[in-house]
Each structure stands twice: as C-alpha cells, then as structure tokens.
Copies of this chain bind each other. A is one copy, B any other.
Amino acid sequence: MSDAEAKSKPHRLKPVLLGKNMVIDCHGHYTSEPAALLEYRKQQVAALNDPSKAPGELRISDDEIREKLEPAQLKFQRERGTDIAIFSPRASAMGHHVGNEATSVAWSRICNDMIHRVCNLYPRNFIGVCQLPQSPGVPPGNCIPELERCVNELGFVGCNLNPDPSGGYWKEPPLTDRWWYPLYEKMVDLDVPAMVHVTATCNPAFHTTGSHYLNADTTAFMQFLTSDLFKDFPSLKFVIPHGGGAVPFHWGRYRGMAQDMKRPPLKELLLNNVYFDTCVYHQPGIDLLAKVIPADNILFASEMVGAVKGIDPETGHYFDDTKRYIDGVSWLNAEDKRKIFEGNAMKVYPRLGKQISRQADAARA
C-alpha cells in the first residue's frame, strides 16, 4: 500500500469484540480545527462588547474537517500504531472565564457538535468526550442539559471538568465540595467519568500548558485525598491528565501525608476512583509513573497534537509519542500493558465498548 493510499484509507479499527488488543488514547483534543471555528469564537468574544460583531452561522464543510485532521491526528495514529482517541474540544479554547454562562453554553454546544461531526466522519478513530458549559460562580449542575445531550444524543462517553473556571484565580470551591454534587449525581447516573482539565489561564503568573495544567492536576488530587467524596459517590471516576501533574513524582509525600492525617492508604482511599493518564513526554517520567502507580490505574494517552509538537533530539522521536515510552518499560508484563492500552479505558469509560461497536457498525454500513 502506497503512502497516498494509506492516507486516503481510514485507519482500520481492530475488532475489539473479537478480543484483539486495541490501543486507546484516552486524551485527545481537537487541535486541528478548521480556521472558521476559531474565527467564529473570535467574533463571539468580540460581540460581548459590540453585538454588531456577532458571528453568523458557522459553515464548515466535511472536506475542511478532513483536510486538517488527516495530516495531524490521523497521520499520527497511523504512524504510531494507536487505534482510537477519546476526543474532546481543544482544552485551552474552552475559555470558561470568557463572557458569561450564555457565552459558555453557546460555545460548548458548537465545540461538542464539531466533535460529533469528527466522530461521524471517522467513526473508527474517534470517540467523543464533551466540554461542559461551565462559568465562574455558576452552579455546575447547570451543565447537566449539555452533558445529557452529548451522552444521550451524540454518543459521547465522558466529559472534561474544569476545577477552575476563573482561568487561574481559583475562585471555585474544591471539587470535593457539595457545590459539584448535582453534576456528579448525573455523571454517575449516566455512567460517564470526567477528566479533570482546566482551560487557558488569564492569570499572568501561570503558563497554560507549562504550569496551569499541571498545577490543576496536582490540586485536584490533593482535594480528593483530603475528602470523603468517594464515600458519597463510590462509582464516580476521574482521570487526572498529564500523568497526574506532580503527584507520581511525589508519591511518597502523598503516601506520607495521608498516613499523617490518619487517612486510609492511597490505594484504598483513591485508586478505585482516580486514574492517571500517560501524557508525560520522556522515558524517565513514564518509568516513574509505571513504578509507583499500579497498572490498574494508568490509562494510555498522548494528547497529540498538543502542548509539545517537536521531535526530541535525544531520541529522534516525537516528544508526545508516548506509546514508545510505555512499550519501553521493561517491567510491565503483557497483561499490564493490555490494561494500560485498552482494559482500563474500558473500565473507566463504561460506555466506551458499546460506542466503539456502534461506530464500527456505522462505518461498515
């Protein structure tokens, strides 16, 4: 098969129901959006001060979507041997702090609809996860209608939950506060997990992908550690992205703090509900992650095309080609790797298996 043929052919989904192993990337954002989407957002934001600048109808053709996705996420899936991405709108563009709740509702619907189009165009390659229409100070329960729409109507399997809709000033109650409970009840009801994911920061102290994202991961973990949230919601599940921020590097600190606080061991306290992805862009980091976090709690992810786009001069491979690092961990056995690449995603996203089958059927039809 020539390169051109390979590119024109959608990547084949391995038939999961027949028991073959898949490589599921649980953390992909739609960072190859057509320019018209970004232009629409620019106009939406401009219209906050000047209603005459409000955008018209968003017009994006299927071909425009294909043209941007093919040489980006789809190319890398093929090259790296990953099968399917759990795919959500660009995280930094969620911008929950921009405008008000209505701004966020309108923008979230549009972004989630774009993900749905991508999943329809490439049903073997992408499964949807939604952005929530959060807004600073607005009860998270207000996000329920959009969550229900995405799960029940669009076939999405999870959501991204922003612990800091203020964009870097951290004005919301901790994720363990009852403030968030109505949303959690609905998540449990729908059987969908959340990835804890902030958006761009408007606080000049932080850099969006260089500190704010990682800080949010660390912050959320510590909120969970100090609370009894999972006594109230035993089946609620969170994925902490970017390898858990600082958490695995400081696993001894967290084990020790839990012990000092007379909390149960972390495994018992958190590891039925909290999972870490593998968006850590060098072998020593992945080695550490795989050493301290049980294989049952690690989900393969790359976040490509994301925070780091280049090739590591030390290895000659893309920094974010995280599959190589997992493959390179000598002490993980085949069963561990199967969990990391597929099994844990199926467990954490209970709707995933059925949705993969459903989309595969649609692709065949």
Q: Interface on A for B, CB 8 Å cutoff?
A: 163-164, 168-170, 172-174, 203-207, 209-211, 214-215, 218-219, 221-223, 225-226, 242-243, 245-246, 248-257, 259-260, 280-285, 287-288, 291-292, 307-310, 312-314, 319-320
Question: Can you pick out 10 interface pairs between chain A and chain B where the beta carbons lie within 8 Å of each other?
Answer: A170-B206, A207-B222, A211-B215, A218-B245, A242-B253, A245-B246, A246-B246, A250-B285, A255-B319, A257-B308
Q: Which residues of B contact A314 (CB under 8 A)?
A: 255
Q: Are B281 and A256 in contact (CB under 8 A)?
A: yes
Q: Are B288 and A252 in contact (CB under 8 A)?
A: no
Task: Kindly report which residue of chain B lies nearest to residue A315, judged by CB atoms.
Answer: B252
Within 8 Å by CB of A252, from B173, B252, B254, B282, lies B282
Q: Are B246 and A214 in contact (CB under 8 A)?
A: yes
Q: Which residues of B contact A203 (CB under 8 A)?
A: 170
Q: Which residues of B contact A252 (CB under 8 A)?
A: 280-285, 308, 312, 319
Q: Which residues of B contact A285 (CB under 8 A)?
A: 249-252, 288
Q: Are A215 and B205 in contact (CB under 8 A)?
A: no
CA distance A156 to B218 in the complex (A): 33
**A246-B245, A253-B281, A260-B310 in contact; A215/B219 too (CB < 8 A)?**
yes
Q: Are B170 and A214 in contact (CB under 8 A)?
A: no
- Could you tell me the distance in whole angstroms from the C-beta of A180 to the nearest C-beta in chain B? 12
CA distance A214 to B225 in the complex (A): 15
Q: Are B218 and A246 in contact (CB under 8 A)?
A: yes
CA distance A5 to B71 in the complex (A): 74
Q: Are A255 and B282 in contact (CB under 8 A)?
A: yes
CA distance A53 to B161 in the complex (A): 45
CA distance A281 to B288 in the complex (A): 14
Q: Which residues of B contact A313 (CB under 8 A)?
A: 259
**A218-B215, A310-B260 in contact; A204/B280 too (CB < 8 A)?**
no
- Could you tell me the distance in whole angstroms from the C-beta of A122 to the nearest C-beta in chain B? 27
Q: Which residues of B contact A204 (CB under 8 A)?
A: 173-174
Within 8 Å by CB of A256, from B173, B211, B283, B319, lies B319
Shortest 7 CB-CB contacts between residues of A and residues of B = A252-B282, A256-B308, A246-B246, A252-B281, A249-B249, A210-B222, A256-B319
- Could you tell me the distance in whole angstroms from the C-beta of A229 to the nearest C-beta in chain B? 14
Q: Which residues of B contact A168 (CB under 8 A)?
A: 170
Within 8 Å by CB of A249, from B173, B246, B257, lies B246
Q: Which residues of B contact A292 (CB under 8 A)?
A: 282, 284
